[in-house]
Structure 1
Amino acid sequence: MIGKLKGTIEEIDEDHVLIDVHGVCYVAFCSSRTLSRLGSAGEAAVLFIETYVREDQLKLFGFETALEREWFRLLQSVQGVGAKVALAVLSTLTTSELANAIALQDKAMVARAPGIGPKVAQRIVAELKNKAPALSGDAGSTMGLKQELGEGVASAPIADAVSALCNLGYSRDQAANAVAAAMKTAGEDADSAKLIRLGLKELAR
């Protein structure tokens, strides 16, 4: 089982990279996001690897971080999501954006990935809502509030403030982050008007 590759980039193609490790070249299939962050041919590279062994093939999938690899595994626990679809999601959304979308039950955000229809997007946000917090990464600080919003159990002032900011053109994720930051200043008992005002200040930074 291969867990990580450290070597030199031989070449980068549309969906994979060829890495030379002491004279042995490995093909690792990656998300477009990971491929775009690798260097050029001849440069050093490190990839976390997920190894797939099938009767008729052995395939390596490469990831910039261990967190991205964990999301790749988790996404495939959802019915209808295979390796190709999981890579498409990770090509479209960062791990933080994906965690936020699941917490907010924002299936439209997930459906932005090519090959993801509304039904699969709905299954992803529904089936992973309790598993996502452990893999929230940079999104972890506001995950609790976003889950409350996604499940429709957030307090009225918070829900109203987020809704108001969304009506002003901000995404639900941006609005939730701003309100979470506003709550740190205003306190959890603040009314919606105060949360909106402080939230706008956060968004203007």
Structure 2
Amino acid sequence: MARQQERARRTRAALVESAAIEFARRGYAAASVNTILEGSNATKGAMYFHFQSKEELARAVLQAGVEQFTGLTERWTRRTDLGPFEALHCLVVDLAKLFHVSVIVQAEFRLIIEPEFYADVQSGGSKVWGRTAYEFAIRAQNEGLLREGADTEKFTRVLAASLAGQRYMSDLTELKGDLAERFEESLEVVLAAMASEQWLAKFAEQGWPECGSELPEL
């Protein structure tokens, strides 16, 4: 029984991975179930044992993306040795790296801009890391690191929109290797407008600390 369960788990994981590759490459509507099956070495019967439809398989990819985003954000929220802006910086840099190396995350980003999954934007990966960015902004406000009267919701909203735009433009211009720098740039522009003068003076002198590798195993 345990062996059968492990085989079923591996088959499901292989289907999700193969589907992510296909969705990231071709989008949802054009994705081929046969190509997904070929990539996973699974039979059509095995696929329909785990997933009733291509849509259900796509939603499994979306959920896998959320899990990766959750694992990443939790790593940085646990880092109490870093200030809120420093932890947020490390989060957005690792977020850029995750977009670059994880086909699951690439597929999640591609799927949520397709009509069938517009509603999933509200519960997808951007919601996960956006909530964490907001928590860092609240912490910064409580520690006096934001300018007086700064709106933490506006801080998060503008940052999230900028990162999404940078991610989209990186696909159009095929400059994925620069995504971490572009994400960092977006954060610095928002901070220049909303961080306290004291924090900005310290940042101008010291810059960002080293983040280290916090990416999960992919």
TM over 0.5: no
- Higher normalized contact order (CA 8 Å, seq sep 6+, divided by chain length): 2
TM-score (norm 1): 0.31
Structure 1 or 2: more strand by fraction: 1
